[in-house]
Structure formats: C-alpha cells, structure tokens
Amino acid sequence: MPSRLAAKVVNHEVNKAGLVDILGDTNHINTQGEEQQKLDIYAHKIFIQTLTNRNIVCGIASEEEEHFIRVNSMDKKNQNKYDVLIDPLDGSSNIDVNVSVGTIFSIYRRMTPLGTPVIEADFLQAGDQQVAAGYVIYGTSTMLVYTTGNGVNGFTLNPALGTFYLSHPNMSYPKNGSIYAINEGNYIHFPLGVKNYIKYCQMESEDRPYTSRYIGSLVSDYHRNMIKGGIYLYPETAKNPSGKLRLLYECNPMAFIAEQAGGKAINGEKRIMSIKPTSLHQRVAFYCGSRKMVEELADFILKNP
Ligand code: P6P
C-alpha cells in the first residue's frame, strides 16, 4: 500500500516538527477557508508523490486541492483503476501544541472506462462503494488502521526498522461506551436532540454521567473511542451549518472502518455511507462510535427533529 511509505515519511517529519522550520502556518488559506499549516502542505505533497508513482491510481482528491488530480499512468495502456480521496494531515491546527494528528484516506474503483481521463463522478460515489479506507495516527506510536471490507486491522510502526507490524488484529468497537467527544463550546447552536443527548450523558444514574473527552483531532478522538468505547459528535453549528467534517475524505472512510468494526456512523438521519455526494469538499454532520451510543443519540434526534 503506497500510503505506508508516505506514512513513514510524514511520521518522520511530524516527529521532528519542533526542531526544524516546519511548524506554524503558511499564511495561505486552503480551499476550505482554513489556514494551511506547513505540515499540511508537506504531507499533501508526499502522499500525492507516492500515490502517483505507482501504476495503481488514476485519480486523487485531496483536502488541500480544490480540484481532483488526474494521474497519468506510466503504462500507455493506463489500466490504473483506483481513485484515492485523502485528508493528508487532519487536525493540523494541533501540530504546534504537540497533539496527535492523522491522515485519513478512502479508496474507490473508478466508474468510468479504463484508460480514459477520470471525471468528477468517479470521486462522487457513496461511501458504500468504497473498496478500502484507513487512517494513520501520528501519536505516542504511529499506527495504520484500515479495512478492505473484511474487518479492521491495526499496524504499529517500528521506527527503528521502518516496518509496520500487525499489532491490533480484528479491531472492534465496544458495543457500548461511556465517553462522548464533542466541542461543547458550540452548544448553543446544536440541534435540540443533540443538546438533550448531552444532558442525558451528564445525568446522574446507574451508568452515567459519562466521561467527556475531546482532543480536537478526529483521528485521535476516533481511535480512543474504538479502543475504549465511545461516541464522537460533530453537529451542525452556526459557523458550519452543514457540519464541519468533509464527507468524502473524513466521514466516509471513518464510517467504513466503524461499520466494519461493529460500530455505527450517521449524519443524524441516515448512515453516512448511504449519502450520495454532490461535491468534493461537501460537509456533513457526523456522529460515529459504539453502536448503542449512536443509536441512543439517533433516538434523541428523532424525538427532537
Ligand atoms: P473544532 C480538525 O480541524 C477537525 O477537522 C477534526 O480533526 C477535529 O475533530 C475537528 O476539526 C475539531 O473542530 O471546531 O472543535 O476545533
């Protein structure tokens, strides 16, 4: 998988970010209207480079590029048949404060004929069409977690050897949990059903209050919840009325992994992976984690549409 090589290279740079001039922002705003961090650009370039150097990928869509990238095969027949959608470095605003960040990717088979230039429709496929998805977390250790539709496996990088080892076979979301992850600073703008769910989490009872944990880095909050049980919530807010997270290269891949691990991922009304995308950088509300917790939240939203 070309992302393993890129993950090692990005990991090396992330781990020494405090020592070389690669911290901070580039004074440039990306297509999302967000300040691009130097490491964002670095990670983007590394993944694009490694993905285009293989006769596998015919197109790439990245959070850091407004339009998708056509990959011309070195092979004249151009039998490359996979599209990759990627968030090269998610949570990059945390880099300067030494909080874990991650890479998220999603892989589809192209829909258009082999050998022809890919078109936007090749990227706007529902999450249920993914053939693979994964994330890399650059944390206390660097892990690659991915699925190809037959369960979820986690690999930990041995930096001394530059090799990923199968450290977490058959990963699965605990069916229930007691951790909820949400930026409560946006509370007043949350839909009523989400507000009521948060109050439910905080209520004294046999199994509550739950614990509130929010790292502000999707891959980190997600990974913790998958190990310990929990739910991650990013509702619509005033600043992001459609939600903040991007459907194609954040929510769909994380939803694929969650469902393969026995968890659940919804936008408040339906499964994330059933949504038919309409644009590359489309945002959605995102609720993902232990199945029972997501189902409880869905009930609160249903009762308070
Ligand atoms: P807020 C990072 O920018 C990100 O996309 C996710 O990694 C993270 O969970 C979320 O946004 C944090 O957003 O608005 O709470 O700072």
**What CATH number is associated with residue 147?**
3.30.540.10
Q: Which of 124, 141, 168 is the last residue of a domain?
A: 168
Question: Total domain count for the chain?
Answer: 2
Residue 257, judged by CB atoms within 10 A of its CB (0-12, 13-18, 19+), counts as: buried
Given a cut of 70, whether residue 222 has pLDDT beyond it is: yes
CB 111 within 8 A of CB 121: yes
237 belongs to a structural domain: yes
Q: Look up residue 284 and give its two tokens.
A: 């959605």
pTM reported for the whole predicted model: 0.92
Q: Check residue 36 and give its pLDDT.
A: 66
Select from 172, 170, 174, 138 the least CA-distant residue to 156.
138
Q: Which of 146, 168, 190 is the last residue of a domain?
A: 168
State the pLDDT confidence band at 93, using cuts at 50, 70 and 90. Answer: confident
Spatial separation of the C-alpha atoms in residues 133 and 208, rounded to whole Å = 33
Q: Is the CB of 92 under 6 A from ligand 1?
A: no
Spatial separation of the C-alpha atoms in residues 121 and 195, rounded to whole Å = 37
Residues 52 and 134 reside in one and the same domain: yes
Residues 163 and 213 reside in one and the same domain: no
Residues 228 and 299 reside in one and the same domain: yes
Whether the bond between 2 and the residue before it is cis, its omega within 30 degrees of 0, is no
Mutate to test the pocket of ligand 1, among 136, 244, 254 (most ligand atoms within 8 A of CB): 244
Atom of ligand 1 nearest to the CA of 237: 14
What is the CA(218)–ligand 1 centre distance, in A? 6
State the pLDDT confidence band at 297, using cuts at 50, 70 and 90. Answer: very high
Q: Is the CB of 91 under 6 A from ligand 1?
A: yes
Q: Which of 119, 143, 168 is the last residue of a domain?
A: 168
Tens-digit pLDDT profile for residues 257-295:
999 999 999 999 999 999 999 999 999 999 999 999 999
What is the span of the domain harbouring residue 297?
A: 179-303
17 belongs to a structural domain: yes
Residues 142 and 33 reside in one and the same domain: yes
Given a cut of 60, whether residue 2 has pLDDT beyond it is: no
Q: Is the CB of 264 under 6 A from ligand 1?
A: no
Closest residue to atom 1 of ligand 1, CA basis: 216
Q: Is the CB of 178 under 6 A from ligand 1?
A: no
174 belongs to a structural domain: no
State the pLDDT confidence band at 98, using cuts at 50, 70 and 90. Answer: confident
Residues 19 and 136 reside in one and the same domain: yes
Tens-digit pLDDT profile for residues 12-43:
877 776 555 555 666 666 666 666 667 888 88
Residues 199 and 228 reside in one and the same domain: yes
